[in-house]
Structure 1
Amino acid sequence: MSTEPEPISPEARRALEQDLAELRAERAKVAATLRDVDSAGDRADQADELQRATDVARLDDRIKALDLRLRQAAVAGPPPTDVVGVGSTVTVRFDDESTETVQIGEVAEELDRTLVTADSPLGHALLGHHPGDTVGYETPEGHATATVVAIAAG
């Protein structure tokens, strides 16, 4: 993938915003349990406090990453509709003549059967292609091809 800001679909934006809200709520909950470092306590209390501080730092890192991704997506604008890119919704026809509409994303969501990550074999093969283009990619069963039928923004 390029180093340029990549667009995301409206659905992906909503999912990231929801994740961000949940992370901020979790961070606030964990941070509220932190005590003053000078408070008395045994080693178990100190270890517990250290673990909570580590959890807050981990949450802060994830919050920063999601904030950055959302800002980058705003700069990138909407997903393209003339060429397959991250955030595109693509209808593809496979070798067996079946068609499927998939969304090209960055991170696979559990139970989201329509999302294809940009670094997966099919997602990577589709990037940069136009309707009518046929792409080849590797599957566990061997080489396969798919034809880009249509592209939508999301």
Structure 2
Amino acid sequence: MTGTPEPISPDARRAFEQELADLRAERDAVRATLQGTDADAVGDRADQADELQRADDTARLDARIAEITDRLDGAATAPAPSPDVIGVGSSVTVRFADGTKESVRIGELADDRDQELVTADSPLGHALLGHRAGDSVSYRAPAGPATATVVSIAAPGGT
């Protein structure tokens, strides 16, 4: 690690900015419920527990907002990935030890809707970064050690 934040892709920047806007709106809604209470009012234990939960929610939201803000403030926009070396944004075809081939795209943020996405911080994604077609990589899969060979690298949106 260099101590400076890794560059992020334009898509990841937009996703972080959207998450930041959503978190700020949620935080404002939670804070409004905290400000709307009368500190001198007598309430039961359920009211007090609810108030503590809202305060905890606010602290959690504030922490995530600070984390995203720091990430966005300190990171440059990543250049387009090289067609020769695997980086964030690369589309890669790999052949696993059992002979099966799979095409994956290296991304920064998990997306349940994108079945081809492998995050850069996942074991396979991390192992692939910086490699070229023909390289073999080793990584730790849930079932144990695994290997894969890079068959090809395609430009983003390419085939």
Match of 2:101 in 1: 98
**Which structure 1 segments of 5+ residues have no match?**
none
Using structure 2 for the length normalisation, give the TM-score: 0.74
Label 1:143 to 1:53 Cα distance change in 2 as closer, same or farther (>3 A): closer
- d(CA) in 2 for partners of 1:72, 1:83: 25
- With 46-55 and 3-12 compared, the bigger mean Cα shift is at 3-12
Letter in 2 for 1:100: S
Q: What SS does structure 2 have at the residue aligned with 1:58?
A: helix
State the number of aligned residues. 151
Contact persistence 2:106–2:120 (CA under 8 A) = no
Q: What SS does structure 2 have at the residue aligned with 1:143?
A: strand
Shift of 1:120: 2.4
Shift of 1:69: 1.6
Using structure 1 for the length normalisation, give the TM-score: 0.76
1:68 and 2:52 correspond: no
Match of 1:14 in 2: 14
Q: What SS does structure 2 have at the residue aligned with 1:149?
A: strand
Letter in 2 for 1:98: K
- d(CA) in 2 for partners of 1:56, 1:67: 16
Match of 1:52 in 2: 54
Match of 1:130 in 2: 132
Label 1:80 to 1:131 Cα distance change in 2 as closer, same or farther (>3 A): same
Label 1:97 to 1:55 Cα distance change in 2 as closer, same or farther (>3 A): closer
What is the aligned counterpart of 2:148 among 131, 142, 145? 145
- With 27-36 and 112-121 compared, the bigger mean Cα shift is at 112-121
- d(CA) in 1 for partners of 2:123, 2:39: 53
Shift of 1:71: 2.1
Contact persistence 1:78–1:153 (CA under 8 A) = no
Shift of 1:39: 2.9
- With 60-69 and 45-54 compared, the bigger mean Cα shift is at 45-54
Label 1:77 to 1:137 Cα distance change in 2 as closer, same or farther (>3 A): closer
Label 1:110 to 1:99 Cα distance change in 2 as closer, same or farther (>3 A): closer
Shift of 1:72: 2.8
Label 1:64 to 1:153 Cα distance change in 2 as closer, same or farther (>3 A): farther
Q: What SS does structure 2 have at the residue aligned with 1:25?
A: helix
Overall identity of the aligned pairs, in %: 48
Question: Once superposed, what is the RMSD of the aligned Cα atoms?
Answer: 2.9
Label 1:121 to 1:77 Cα distance change in 2 as closer, same or farther (>3 A): closer
The structure showing larger relative contact order (alpha-carbon pairs under 8 Å, at least 6 residues apart) is 1
Shift of 1:67: 1.2
